Amino acid sequence: MAQASAATIYVLNGPNLNMLGTREPEKYGHASLANVEKLCAETAAQFGLKVDCRQSNREGELIDFIHDAHAKKAVGIIINAGGYSHTSIALHDALVAVKIPTVEVHISNIHARESFRHHSFTAMAAFASLCGFGIDGYRLAISGLAAKLGVKAKT
């Protein structure tokens, strides 16, 4: 593994996540995407890790981000592919192809929602999936990814 001080986790957010804080706050809360990115950076720093946060409403661009994570030797990926989680075999295939430890995150509990949200192609390419914890799911995902990588919190 790369030295922890240089290790980077890609945090990828899919469609409509740029609208966090204003989009359906009863489901997604009032935190903005900037709040999510700050939480991720602070959590990663506790483990001596860095984050590269990216958001796109376009499936192909998300795939390009996954490929970039591979090219830049990222040690992990946290992905909230939004609605693409339930439809995109291409995102699944990209995650499988790069062989980077991945955690899927959903802010809401997808299993307590419409039945079409109960299946996730991206979850099938991840070693773990978190849903229903609000934006705290990102903190939990980074902590779990750090544990998987054998990186301990700095004291």
Task: State whether the Cα torsion 60-126-53-99 is positive or negative.
Answer: negative
Point out the catalytic residue in the list 28, 84, 92, 138. Answer: 28
Which class for 51: exposed (0-12), middle (13-18), buried (19 or more C-beta within 10 A)?
A: buried
Determine whether 70 is an active site residue. Answer: no
Residues 6 or more apart whose CB falls under 8 angstroms from that of 145 comprise 9, 76, 78, 101, 103
Point out the catalytic residue in the list 84, 92, 106, 138. Answer: 106
Determine whether 106 is an active site residue. Answer: yes
Determine the Cα–Cα distance for residues 9 and 155; give it in Å rounded to an integer.
Answer: 20
Task: Tell me the catalytic residues.
Answer: 28, 106
